[in-house]
Amino acid sequence: MGLDLGLEQAGIDIAIGQDFNASCIRTMEANGRKAILGDICNIEPEQLLSAASLSFGEPFLICGGPPCQPFSTAGKRLGINDPRGSLFREYVRMIDAIRPRFFVMENVKGLMSAPLKDENGQNTSGKVIDIILEEFSKLHYKTVFGVLDAVNYGVPQFRERFVMIGSRDNEDIFLPIPTHFQTHQNASNRWITLGDAIKDLENHPGECAEFSPSRLKYLKMVPEGGNWKNLPSDILQEAMGGAYKSGGGKVGFYRRLSYSQPSPTVVTSPIQKATMMCHPTQDRPLSVSEYARIQQFPDSWKIIGTTVDKYRQIGNAVPVGLAKAIGAAIVSVADGTSTIQVKRIRGTGIHEKIQDAIQLGGINNYDT
């Protein structure tokens, strides 16, 4: 949903959407969008094109986030996390049949470095990303890919996502150039904080989940911007339980957010033990409306379902600002104005930081 909204803001009309989750479909329909409910494995390209009133080769863009999680395909001797054995192949099937001018695929940032495993679960010398590139190369799509952090595109949230853009016609595609930075001479180009996004909702948050009494007991002791490490030392082990001796930083345990910083990554629930999203100044989780603000959904956007459904829909979305930046980059290539964007960024004197802001994967040209 956030991907659709951002692309629309970049000037791209959304003709049809598809999801297997009924609540997501009801949300899209409640906001005037056309969508098909169903498993993509059971949907034919002709159905999507018919619903969108488009023909093969006519769509400007297909976008989506096909899961590339481990998938057992031992019968075909594919590794347990080989993307060809997952819903990724269904995404490739649609691209191959429909032949859009561009495609966008977004996914978890770990996709960049994930090793390919064999059918026994052991790491091989291959990489998941190499298989993905190979599949799109077979379709004769030029690709560019990398990891983008939404906070660098005007989103009040640290959220790193793998993004790949593909071009059917071998156009000079590129990932969007960052527009927001931790420090910048112009206030409008600085990171947007959680306070900027939600502080006005503090006293009327609306629909909200609840922390259990046992967790709330400890959260009340944590200051703004703190977490479990700020609890009194004599109760740390009691509060953390078995997690106390586990590895990792555990930064999400008993986490109270800070108004002065961008939000951590919004997850599908604000009350889970390892990823708590406690309000900066009130003893409660972030509300549904605050979640939506962080993901940049308009206040007028209707979200349908139970409270749990609403948090999940919002948490699974692509931030609107990041989607808009991706869409704007594609539109600038399509209409030949991409050099204007580069000149504007260079004029700010911060172009040296662009390489650091985008974890570039590379450009893949298909063989001719």
| Distance in Å from the first CA to the final CA of the chain | 36
Q: Let me know whether 164 and 208 are in one domain.
A: no
Higher pLDDT pick, 357 / 335: 335
pLDDT of 79 reads 52
pLDDT of 29 reads 98
Q: Let me know whether 147 and 288 are in one domain.
A: no
Q: Is residue 199 part of a domain?
A: yes
Q: Let me know whether 232 and 359 are in one domain.
A: no
Residue 21 has pLDDT above 60, yes or no: yes
Q: Is residue 187 part of a domain?
A: no
| pLDDT bracket for residue 114 (50, 70, 90) | confident
Q: Compute the mean pLDDT over every residue in the chain, rounded to the nearest whole number.
A: 90
Q: Is residue 309 part of a domain?
A: no
Q: Let me know whether 144 and 77 are in one domain.
A: yes
Q: What DSSP element (H or E) covers 182?
A: none
Higher pLDDT pick, 82 / 255: 255
pLDDT of 357 reads 61
pLDDT tens for each residue of 75-105? 344 554 666 557 888 999 999 999 999 999 9
Q: Is residue 214 part of a domain?
A: yes
CA triplet 44, 46, 47: central angle to 5 degrees? 70
Q: Let me know whether 199 and 166 are in one domain.
A: no
pLDDT tens for each residue of 185-242? 999 999 999 999 999 999 999 999 999 999 999 999 999 999 999 999 999 999 999 8
Range of the domain at 114: 2-182+319-364
3-state helix, strand, coil in the chain (%, to 5): 40, 15, 45
Residue 355 has pLDDT above 90, yes or no: no
Q: Let me know whether 207 and 276 are in one domain.
A: yes
* Contact by Cβ (8 Å): 128, 114: yes
How far apart are the C-alpha atoms of 227 and 212, rounded to whole Å?
17
Q: Residue 358: how many CB atoms within 10 A of its CB? A: 19
Q: Let me know whether 147 and 28 are in one domain.
A: yes
User: Looking at residue 284, which CATH number applies to its domain?
Assistant: 3.90.120.10
Q: Is residue 241 part of a domain?
A: yes
Catalytic residue among 24, 63, 68, 208: 68
Q: Which of 65, 305, 290 is nearest to 196 (CA)?
A: 290
Q: Let me know whether 138 and 283 are in one domain.
A: no
Which string of DSSP letters, residue by residue, matches 124-157? EEEEHHHHHHHHHHHTT-EEEEEEEEGGGGT-SB
Half-sphere exposure (Cβ direction) of 216: Cα atoms closer than 13 Å: 10
Q: Let me know whether 110 and 10 are in one domain.
A: yes
Last residue of a domain, one of 280, 304, 328: 304
Q: Let me know whether 36 and 84 are in one domain.
A: yes
pLDDT tens for each residue of 115-125? 887 777 788 88
Q: Is residue 310 part of a domain?
A: no
How far apart are the C-alpha atoms of 50 and 38, rounded to whole Å?
15
Q: Let me know whether 148 and 44 are in one domain.
A: yes
Q: Let me know whether 235 and 336 are in one domain.
A: no
User: Looking at residue 22, which CATH number applies to its domain?
Assistant: 3.40.50.150
pLDDT of 362 reads 66
Q: Helices 2-9 and 320-334, interaxial angle, to 10°?
A: 40
pLDDT tens for each residue of 127-160? 889 989 999 999 999 999 999 999 999 999 999 9
Residue 18 has pLDDT above 80, yes or no: yes
pLDDT of 331 reads 98
Query: What b/e sequence results for 110-140 when a residue is b if at least 16 CB atoms lie within 10 Å of its CB, and e otherwise?
Result: ebbebebbbeeeeeeeeebbebbbebbbeeb
261-280 mean pLDDT: 97
Q: Is residue 188 part of a domain?
A: no
Q: Is residue 189 part of a domain?
A: no
63 noted as active-site residue: no
Chain centre distance of CA 55? 29
CA triplet 150, 30, 313: central angle to 5 degrees? 40
| pLDDT bracket for residue 359 (50, 70, 90) | low
pLDDT of 231 reads 97
pTM for the model: 0.90
Domain count across the chain: 2
